[in-house]
Amino acid sequence: MAKGVFIALEGGEATGKTTTAQAVKEKMEALGYEVVVTREPGGIPSAEAIRNNIMDFHVDPKTELLLYVAARREHLVNKVIPALEAGKIVITDRFHISSLVYQGCARELGMEAVRMLNDFACEGHYPDLNIIIDIPVEVSMERKKGVEDINRLDLEGYAFHKKVEEAYKMISEKGEDPTLVIDGTKPMDEMIEEIYEVIKNKVEAMQ
């Protein structure tokens, strides 16, 4: 491909983003595309180190936001942009919309402040499409029961995660970012196939 395609998978907790990203990668690679699957915060050692600080310590909300943005900058400059410049498809598990939702809304720091910091860090490098996997917060919390890999955000209460759910819907409705909402309550194989078709069509349209 002459130009890479940047896709972000978004949504609350336990939506199946990680599983979906890997499955779509395999399907796209079967068609001959080069695909990079990554995650935020993280994706490279320096950003993973920042992730550990976010997840392991109870930091101030503004500190949390700044850490996310710092990790995003490292990830973007050192992994995402080089892959896109090489003509690859990049599928990331979360990007800037997660900060708008979690820190801007759920942490009540404000959307404008979060957008400003992301604009500073990303310099216009945003996903071509943000796919929001939508599930009710009740389903999300039920899925998390018995899961061993629990982080600090998973332990937030119902009210916090309800704000997350509502914020994703609000962002999609406002239309400032290219988003598509997918029903995350359907069977996993059906959801994966739907997201695969969306990504494949997006890639073909951008070629």
Annotation-wise, does 162 bind a ligand?
no
Annotation-wise, does 18 bind a ligand?
yes
Annotation-wise, does 14 bind a ligand?
yes
Annotation-wise, does 63 bind a ligand?
no
Beta-carbon contacts of 101 under 8 Å, excluding residues fewer than 6 positions away, are 10, 164, 167, 168, 171
Annotation-wise, does 11 bind a ligand?
yes
Task: Could you list the residues known to form a binding site, using ranges.
Answer: 11-18
Q: Which residues are annotated as a binding site for ATP?
A: 11-18
